[in-house]
Amino acid sequence: MKVLVTGGAGYIGSHTVKELLKQKHQVIILDNFSSGHQELVCGGHLVRGDLRSEQDLRQVFQTFQVEAVMHFASLIQVGESYTDPQKYYCHNLFSSLNLLKIMLEFGVKRLIFSSSAAVYGQPQQIPITEEHPVNPINPYGATKYMVERVLSDYDRAYGLKYVSLRYFNAAGADPDGQLGELHKPETHLIPNIIQHLLGQNPGFQVFGNDFPTPDGTAIRDYIHVTDLARAHLKALERIMAGSSSQIINLGSAKGYSVLEVIRTAEKVTGKTVSLKFGPRRPGDVPVLLASSQKAESWLGWGREFSDLEFIVKTAWQWHQRH
């Protein structure tokens, strides 16, 4: 199949491109390199362009007979979305509307969308199922939820079929060592710990040790990026086979506290973190944990790489080389 991958030079996008190519799909990557990286382009046809430009989009759809779209391109910093919401509504919401407009213009009606656990806001019960009420507490999560609303209306009105994948904590790196996580600035826990262990992040802090959890630090559901990538291929297969639109959580259904992640990193690397505790980061919730029942039953998805030690090991291998 001919699949357009927006943000295919980013972290999750690049890992998914690799899986698509392995399955012999033809891939067109559209990326403006605002946060993508040339070294994460692992094949396919690369187009430098911006989703906010109808002209850029039309050119792609005119040149390639795109059959389906995987839409990863997005800004992802929760903190920045508070201080500069316009940037987020413009890049995440307006871009998506533009993409959908041109897709419909060219009769392309199959989409896999990168959503986030951020749509749930403060969880009311754990594990979080897809029926959990949606109440985003930051502009980043709001943009993801707004796109989901648009998708549901476009399905009803125009027959657009989509799978919205709500990621929990994507982590780890390509087991072959070719691809990995490269965010600037980096805000995520595992790369921050690793950079600290490599001597590049002396100020590393644990944000909060007064959460209502067994060790006082926040619990998250870490899912290996290659497992995430493979879920996209399963979703594409289902939607191309004529399935109805769906929303699906992607997590490992297992939670680890920040201190447990640090201990795992120390075990994997044989190095010691110099522990410093700081205040909670605004908006951080005590526990985020996915129910992965629907991903398993509907997608037929299983996790191969999401053991925490393996996640940290693959991330460590990648960061040592970068």
Measured from the CB atom, is 104 or 134 closer to ligand UFG? 134
Q: Is residue 223 within the footprint of ligand UFG (CB under 6 A)? A: no
Interface residue with ligand UFG among 169, 245, 249, 292 (CB under 6 A) is: 169
Q: Is residue 220 within the footprint of ligand UFG (CB under 6 A)? A: yes
State yes or no: is 158 an active-site residue.
no
Q: What's the CA gap between 79 and 168, in Å, rounded?
A: 17
Total number of residues binding ligand UFG (CB under 6 A)?
21
In sequence order, which residues have a C-beta less than 8 Å from that of residue 101 and are 6 or more positions away?
Answer: 54
Enter the DSSP assignment of 4: E
Provide, rounded to whole angstroms, the least separation between the CB of residue 222 and ligand UFG.
8
Count the neighbouring beta carbons within 10 Å of the beta carbon of residue 210: 11
- The DSSP string of 138-153 is SHHHHHHHHHHHHHHH
Closest-CA residue to 84 (of 75, 94, 73, 95): 75
Contacts with ligand UFG, 140-159, as mask; x by CB under 6 A: x-------------------
Interface residue with ligand UFG among 82, 89, 207, 298 (CB under 6 A) is: 207
Closest-CA residue to 119 (of 94, 102, 99, 144): 144
Contacts with ligand UFG, 285-304, as mask; x by CB under 6 A: ---x----------------
Largest CA distance in the chain: 56
Q: What are phi and psi of 195, to 5 degrees?
A: -60, -35
And the tokens for 50? 């911006």
Contacts with ligand UFG, 1-40, as mask; x by CB under 6 A: ----------------------------------------
Q: Say which amino acid occupies 135.
A: N
Measured from the CB atom, is 176 or 210 closer to ligand UFG? 210
Q: Is residue 192 within the footprint of ligand UFG (CB under 6 A)? A: yes
And the tokens for 211? 């959460």
Map the footprint of ligand UFG across residues 59-88, applying CB under 6 A: 76, 78
Strand partners, 103: none
The one catalytic residue in 11, 88, 120, 140 is 140
Q: What's the CA gap between 94 and 41, in Å, rounded?
A: 25
Stretch that binds ligand UFG, among 17-25, 67-75, 200-208, 300-308 (CB under 6 A): 200-208
Contacts with ligand UFG, 88-127, as mask; x by CB under 6 A: ----------------------------xxx---------
Closest-CA residue to 229 (of 39, 38, 40): 40
Count the neighbouring beta carbons within 10 Å of the beta carbon of residue 64: 17
Interface residue with ligand UFG among 41, 197, 206, 312 (CB under 6 A) is: 206
And the tokens for 203? 């100020």
Provide, rounded to whole angstroms, the least separation between the CB of residue 280 and ligand UFG.
7
Active site members: 140
Interaction site with ligand UFG (CB under 6 A): 76, 78, 116-118, 140, 169, 187-189, 192, 204-207, 218, 220, 258, 281, 284, 288
